[in-house]
Amino acid sequence: MAEHNQQIFSKKVISAAGLLERAGLPTYAQFVQGWLPSEITVAIAEKVGGVETPIFVAAMQAFYSALIVAKSGDTVFTLSAELIHALRDTEIPDIPVEEVRLPFDGINVDFPRGTLGGPAAEVGRLLMCMVPGDRFRVVYHHDAFTNYVSFLPEEGKTLFQCAASAQEQQHQMLSDPSLVQAFRDAALYADYWKTDMFRLAINTMLYITSPDADVVEDKTQLHEIHAKLQGLKKGRKQEVLLDKLRKAKQRKRYIVGAKFRLAAEYNAALTDKGKKWALQQRVRVMGHWKNQPYGPKSELRRRQWLAPYWKGPSYAEMVEKGYVVR
């Protein structure tokens, strides 16, 4: 029986590996290397009755979402720099998990490199997808490594409860309780649902599905191709442009937050001018979400985003104050 299961696992790995290669994604071994300590991979392998292959199958779950997005996620949302700053400084709301949804089955979220911290500093795209009956997944890959966050939306639970449940499931994969702390310390875990990656993803998802979102379809590429086709006679050049036009129509592109502006003082920096610290009584308030009443007798609710801001005296340049120690 164990040998039969091993053969099934191997076939799944070989089949999915071909899909990964065609999609231009890293292999399983590259995913495992550098993210999970060896004692963790061995423990998981022992738990499911294999030696090496089962951890590859577990890694396959990470790539499964990326493959979904690669196949059906032809929609790209590009975030403006100031909106990124604000969404990263916004608390994740503990909302009913039913409210975690996307406008499409899968989307690509683009942003400048350097947006995320740590090992994700060079990442410029998140792959987000949610398939009915499946997990909500946020995936990024860079060089040889892929990282992901996923949780199963459980009816009647909140976002935080589902995240905690996902963490508990990870713990249960370990046969030795002493390895739990090692797993907590691993880069893959690292309170993953509290990271920049997950906070930016969840807040972006909430923003683009909110009624007041600043989301505009970007048809620049379509207009450029149409302009080149004007007056062009039949021939190889026209065929190439028509093919580009067809592909461009398949991939929807949106600009998010083009009109959004942070208050000037939010990005204020310390200088060496002046003799006092003008903002010493001010407090930076994280962005947050709240339920706004609307409709007849205000019986209905819709989610409203309050961007981060400064609370305190009006804006003035922050300056460094010199102290004399006696």
SS3 string, the chain, reads CHHHHHHHHHHHHHHHHHHHHHHCCCCHHHHHCCCCCHHHHHHHHHHCCCCCHHHHHHHHHHHHHHHHHHHHCCEEEEECHHHHHHHHCECCCCCEHHHCCCCCCEEEEECCCCCCCHHHCCCCEEEEEECCCCCEEEEEEECCEEEEEEECCCCCCEHHHHHHHHHHHHHHCCCCHHHHHHHHHCCCCCCHHHCHHHHHHHHHHHHHCCCCCCEEECCHHHHHHHHHHCCCCCCHHHHHHHHHHHHHHHCEEEEECCCCCCCHHHHCCCECCCCCCCCCCCEEECEEEEEEEECHHHCEEEEEEECCEEECCCCCCCECCCCCCC
Averaged pLDDT, 309-324: 54
Look at residue 82 and tell me whether its pLDDT is greater than 50. Answer: yes
Q: Of the given ranges (50-59, 160-169, 207-216), which has the lowest mean pLDDT? A: 50-59
Question: pLDDT digits over 238-269, tens only?
Answer: 888 888 888 878 778 899 999 998 877 666 65
Predicted TM-score (pTM) of the model is: 0.68
Look at residue 84 and tell me whether its pLDDT is greater than 80. Answer: yes
